[in-house]
A and B are shown apart, each in its own frame.
Chain A
Amino acid sequence: MTTKNHSVADIITRNRVWRSIFRQGYPADDENRARAIMNSWFLHIHPVKVKLHSLKLTYTWGLGVISFVLFLILVVTGAWLMFFYVPSVQSAYTDIQNLDTAVTFGALMRSLHRWSAHLMVVVVFLHLCRVFFTGGYKRPREFNWVIGVLLWVVTMLLSFTGYLLPWDQLSYWAITVSTNIVGAFPLIGEALRQLLLGAAEAGPPALVRFYALHIAVLPVVMTILIGIHFWRIRKDGGLSSPSEASENEYGDR
């Protein structure tokens, strides 16, 4: 860091403005690479060093990271869709039609949101399978697995609540079929169904409730759960690997 050389990287990184933001130099040596991770709000969830084993493609298949990327794509495209969509039975369907035909990039953004949502349900489940089949749930990661199962459920609920919003035949009958299943539960079934729909049948109140769940309640729950999930990965010593194996039945270290 003390040697004087006037590469472009040096000119960009050796001034007060850059240093006030990033605090460290260009990450070309290990000290600056470590600082680049620790000093950044975005990167500090990473450890400074990772096990080589964690980087093996055939171990994780990148499925957890891809799940997160899909979630980010969904948040961005979803916020954008909100500019053009009003959750009322009068306008919902025409808003979507306008997105598809009149709004610049509307069809692309809606398709991105839709396909990312489907893909996320698939990828999160594959990630669950990867963790299961590699034994990644074992101590000390038991609780992160439990959080994971909740993430899987919330992923499906987010997808499900979004499904109603276009208010077309596909949405309407899918929600009718699904909520009828709820209605058939003993004792609480019918009450639960009406709580979800806000009425005896899917109609205006159902659309508003599903919308609130879809754009506010469930994304917040998801964000908190993902936060805990990532934080736990750090606290649990990074990813599982065969080097943690012990003969001790209960895994006491």
Chain B
Amino acid sequence: MNNAKRHSIIWGARLAIIVALLIAWQISIEHSRIAAFFLGSPKKIGETLVEWFTTGSIYKHLGITLMETMLSFLIGTGFALILGLWLALNDMCAAIFDPFIKGLNSMPRLIMAPIFAVWFGLGIWSKVALGVTLVFFVVFFNVFQGIREVSPVLIANAKMLGASRQQLVRRVYIPSALSWVFSSLHLSVGLAFVGAVIGEYLGSSAGVGYLILEAEGTFDIETVLAGVILLTTCALILDFAITLFENSLLKWQGK
């Protein structure tokens, strides 16, 4: 009861802040040309958003951006899992590859975007490639560290219960690695999304990032901001979905 009250106060306050900001914004642009030029009109932004969804013209772009996000996440995580597991379980290989991985990780990856465009074309795959390079390292380091830190007693116990090497990998190391993937889920999905949008922004023919790029070309600040709001909302929804997923899946991690 008390909790529900607290909840409604919090949400009420949040809503009030947003409304107040929008009103202040609207008032300031009605009184100043310069403000209108730099900030755009919240009313027009709203109209743009409504138009996108009523005509349905946004779905194609949104679909592409989300598709790129999804692919980046899945491919990046997949590679990271395999390589993380492999290197964590092979000391020699880990030692050999260590400097390469550190080097690749510290390389500024956004700069690679144009190169990916050359390699993979202007379609979704160059964006996926960029997203993968972002997602991969986050997940890789988590998995690698996670596997290295699996409690030795856990391993010893599984061995005593009769686990073969293969069963050890399948029933102990992989579940343990997955729990580390889940713990980096917010970050990795976020990065996949960023990779997709930035990739589109740096050169593409579709996607929400492309819409923003195009609008910037014509100083259409309202469309740019509408795009930004759309992206922010998407990111929030993704994050929320991950939280729901985590809560359902990670009961064993406890509160």
- Tell whether A and B belong to one assembly: no
Residues of B at the A interface (CB closer than 8 Å) are: none
